[in-house]
Structure 1
């Protein structure tokens, strides 16, 4: 039997004798539920079309509890709070500040500990919002991978007063109030093909999360990382960089744009990618950096023959062109 959920639009294949909640959970949907016996009313929904049976009573319209109701035929249901596959619920967490370490290039590695009773749920590549002293919020990519448990890692460039003041506030307070997760440039599902990861500056935080997730998940395809900075001194220390050099299938590139006297590669990130891969048709491309950098990279790679749909970046959502 098929049950169509509104407003999310999902269509569930429900087995005979299975409650709507059981079917939704089996298929991987995040949905509101609590006690599973109808007493808490959290999973209350509205039957719009079709018939269901709940505690021996056949319903053809009206309110019901997803934890108890069994569809008898194809139905249409209004059930608020159900999230699409791969989407996680937003949560607000008070996280302990474990450490704020200077890692070079004016970047600080901020380590937070989520509360034990409310685990931080996110996909590799997502970001969080952290509350400032003035009550506003600042966005930072999560450099940690979901498999790391309660510890969250951020890479904060502290050159502007707003970032410097935020770090000082967090040190004084000893905890961080965060909201998460956000962003659709993630690896909820590992792609069936090689990755090209392109990061400028602390955009490396997002790529750090993606790489660590691929390592922990046994990703079978090659991963090519291109990390760009204006000068060699702008590259900061990463805790796993030396380990990454030994990982089969993980290829690391550092590219400097403004100083061509160092021993590594020089130029723009998209130039390095195009030099290495004249044909990008088989790659999944992820980019992280300023809007100007991301769109410049997109245009250059599309000019080289890449389909624009192959590239993902949070910039496309928060700074659409």
Structure 2
């Protein structure tokens, strides 16, 4: 059956027995939903033409819930908020603070809950802007993945500078004003080959999002994570680390630039040691502009095509 959506004009080819929301997700559309079998009303739409079956009842007009509605013939449905996978609107939300916990290395794990009925839309690997006490907004990578719904996670480095007082401010307020999503170093679509993820410090947040998204989507090619810090005590607690260690397709590497008993050196040195052939790798990097560009240059010198590497630095700190 063909479902035509208004006002977007998108057309869904729905398989027999498939619900409208299921078809939209299979075809890569971003849709408003809360996944509570219509109890949340987030996925509500208006049936304009055609027939659907919902909870055993046939309907030919009126409000339907796309998580339950199974088309019986071609339909015309008015469903606001449906977007193509590559296009997400920037929204501003006031979120409830769930947790602001020190996890080591002067890093705080900040967990936020978006308002009910205002599902945050973003791709794995994107970042948000968080309002500080001064009223200014600063960028923080999302450590959560889209399948986590209303819950968002950030890793905030609060050793010095403007972020030092941020955890205390969030604790006092109990809420956080955010804008999202931003960034093009994301996984709107899963790649067809191995992933190499390079994280410096709290750049780990972005990689956390990518790994959790891949886990949720059943990604099967190998994933190689390289997490680098200056000193060993700068590593912080990752709640899923123990689970990741059990995954056969995921290789974890911790690297310290200033000597320790484990692996030392720089991230790009580790990549060059581990991969004699860089072709076919999809490389994501998160860190300072200096780190990202040094890594890019070193890997290009080793035979990587520059287009294989993605990083938000390329957009917000372009070099001539």
- Distance in 1, matches of 2:83 and 2:119, equals 18
> What is the match of residue 161 of structure 2?
161
Q: Distance in 1 between matches of 2:248 and 2:318?
A: 36
Structure 1 Cα separation of the partners of residues 139 and 223 of structure 2: 26
Match of 2:256 in 1: 256
Matched-pair contact (CA < 8 Å) for 1:94–1:178: yes
Number of residues paired by the alignment? 264
Counterpart mapping for 1:222-233 below 5 A: 222-233=222-233
CA displacement at 1:166 relative to structure 2: 2.1
Any idea what SS the aligned residue of 1:255 has? strand
Distance 2:315 2:114 in 1: 27
1:63-85 per-residue CA deviation (whole Å, 9 max, x = no partner) reads: xxxx89xxxxxxxxxxxx99664
- Structure 1 pair 256–165 and aligned structure 2 pair: CA distance change class (3 A): same
Unaligned runs of 5+ in 2: 13-26, 32-44, 49-75
Q: Distance in 1 between matches of 2:215 and 2:146?
A: 12
SS in structure 2 opposite 1:120? coil
TM-score, scaled to structure 2: 0.77
Match status 1:124 vs 2:124? yes
CA contact (8 A) 2:5 2:11 kept: no
TM-score of the aligned structures, taking structure 1 as reference length: 0.76
- The Cα offsets for residues 110-136 of structure 1, whole Å up to 9 and x where unpaired, read as 011111110111111000001112111
Task: Tell me how far apart the structure 2 counterparts of residues 152 and 214 of structure 1 sit (CA, whole Å).
Answer: 17
Paired with 1:320 and 1:220, the residues of 2 have a C-alpha distance of 33
Give 1:165 shift.
2.2
| Equivalent position of 2:136 in the other structure | 136
Who is 1:146 aligned against?
A: 146
Alignment partners' CA distance in 2, 1:117 and 1:282: 41
Residue equivalent to 1:291: 289
- Give 2:197's aligned residue: 197
Task: Structure 1: state its 5+ residue gaps.
Answer: 1-14, 38-66, 69-80
Secondary structure in structure 2 of the residue aligned to 1:220? coil
Deviation at 1:256, TM superposition (A): 0.5
Q: Secondary structure at the match of 1:274?
A: helix
Contact 1:30 1:89 in 2 (8 A): no
Q: Deviations over 1:57-105 (max 9, x none)?
A: xxxxxxxxxx89xxxxxxxxxxxx9966422111111100011110000
Residues 143 and 19 from structure 1, CA distance in 2 versus in 1: closer, same or farther, beyond 3 angstroms?
A: closer
State the alpha-carbon separation in 1 of the partners of residues 246 and 30 from structure 2.
Answer: 38
Q: CA deviation at 1:35?
A: 6.5
CA distance in 2, matches of 1:152, 1:29: 21
User: Does the Cα contact within 8 Å between 2:131 and 2:138 map onto a contact in 1?
Assistant: yes
Please say if residues 4 and 10 of structure 2, whose CA atoms lie closer than 8 Å, have aligned partners that are also in contact: no
Once the two structures are superposed, residues 269-320 of structure 1 have per-residue CA deviations (whole angstroms, 9 ceiling, x without a partner) of 0000000001110100000000000000000000000000000000001111
Residues 85, 241 of structure 1: alpha-carbon distance in 2 compared, 3 angstrom cutoff: closer
Distance in 1, matches of 2:130 and 2:8, equals: 35
Please report how far the alpha carbon of residue 36 of structure 1 lies from its aligned counterpart in structure 2 after TM superposition. Answer: 8.0
Helix, strand or coil for the counterpart of 1:198?
A: strand
